[in-house]
Amino acid sequence: MKLVTFDEGRVGHLLDGDTVEELDVPTMRDYFAGGMAAAPTGARIPLSDVTLRAPIVPRKFFHTAGNFSEHHEESESAGWSHPVLPWIVFFQNVDAIIGPDEPIIYPEHLTNELDYELELSVVIKKDGAFFGPEEAADYIGGYVIFNDITARDIQRREMKSGVFSLCKAIQTFCPIGPWIVTADEIADPHNLDLELRVNGEKRQVSNTNHMSVTIPEIVAHYSSMGYSAGDIVSTGTVSGVAAFSEDPPAWYLKPGDLIEAEIEGIGVLRNPIISWMDGHGTPPPPRVEWDEI
């Protein structure tokens, strides 16, 4: 089942791929908190007539990284400042979440190095804590696409202290969608093709079978912090990011670009990049000068 949030916060699921059936529940978080059960309201609307929103705004967004060795290997080849190894975690800013087709606003005063990171993310089904990998399947309610937008120049500065967050948590830097696919529809989450395109050009192409740890291990590992129904756990990105390419300046995102983040069995999450002026109607604030690395 594909679960959607649409228009002004209405919740529903897709019927036959082209019709939205509305569910009688206030928010998607309430849907998960209620055991993923809600009665239809009786309203059915053509998908083409609704505006899809971010499918869920979780209480907590567990942002994990380093779970694909290929991403670490490309960072080493590029001479990146720090290793990208498993068991990196921090909390994402849920106020930065946007949905499908919503614009990512380029903060020109903060960064010259805007990058993308395609990730499969898990939506937690129910409250829980302190469980092992063998129990993790009971806590996985579904999967959603996450594009981890990152300001690399800010990230290098932050990583000098061993922690990074601002570089990935600026407003509009957290696109998710286009919907949540329930776990029962994904036969094997460890064998899904991944592809991210910028203006139609393939940048990231991989498969979840390249993960160096498993999704149950990731979900269980962070359960000691306590999950709430509807929380999101990201699983890290794959090789092909702009920062570790042969020509980062040519690959970094810029206003006018269109990103398409695709995961097999889920769909395509599209987001355009727009300028600060187009997003806010005013020129960007004065330039912030970050320390040189």
Q: Which residue has the tokens 């087709």?
A: 101
What type of residue is 11? V
Q: What is the pLDDT, as a whole number, of residue 80?
A: 62
Q: What is the DSSP string of 18-80?
A: TEEEEES-S-HHHHHHTTS---EEEEEEEGGGS-B--S---S-EEEEE--BHHHHHHHHHTT-
Instruction: Decide if pLDDT at 292 tops 70.
Output: no
* Contact status, residue 102 vs residue 178, Cβ threshold 8 Å: no
* CATH tag for 61-280 (out of 3.90.850.10, 3.40.50.300, 1.10.1740.110, 3.30.70.270): 3.90.850.10
Beta carbons within 8 Å of 91's beta carbon, 6+ residues apart: 60, 61, 62, 63, 165
Per-residue tokens: 90: 């921090």
* Contact status, residue 242 vs residue 183, Cβ threshold 8 Å: no
d(CA 275, CA 103): 9
Q: Which pLDDT band, with edges at 50, 70 and 90, does 263 fall under?
A: very high
**Full strand arrangement of the beta sheet holding 193-198:** 104-105, 267-274, 258-263, 193-198, 201-207
Q: Which residue has the tokens 């059936």?
A: 21
Q: Where are the domains of the chain?
A: 2-49, 61-280
Q: What is the pLDDT, as a whole number, of residue 71?
A: 56
Q: What is the pLDDT, as a whole number, of residue 75?
A: 65
pLDDT, one tens digit per residue, over 2-29 is: 999 999 999 999 998 899 999 999 999 9
pTM across the whole model: 0.95
Q: What is the pLDDT, as a whole number, of residue 210?
A: 94
Q: What is the pLDDT, as a whole number, of residue 142?
A: 98
Per-residue tokens: 64: 């994990």
Q: What is the pLDDT, as a whole number, of residue 185?
A: 97
pLDDT, one tens digit per residue, over 140-196 is: 999 999 999 999 999 888 887 777 789 999 999 999 999 999 999 999 999 999 999
What type of residue is 125? K
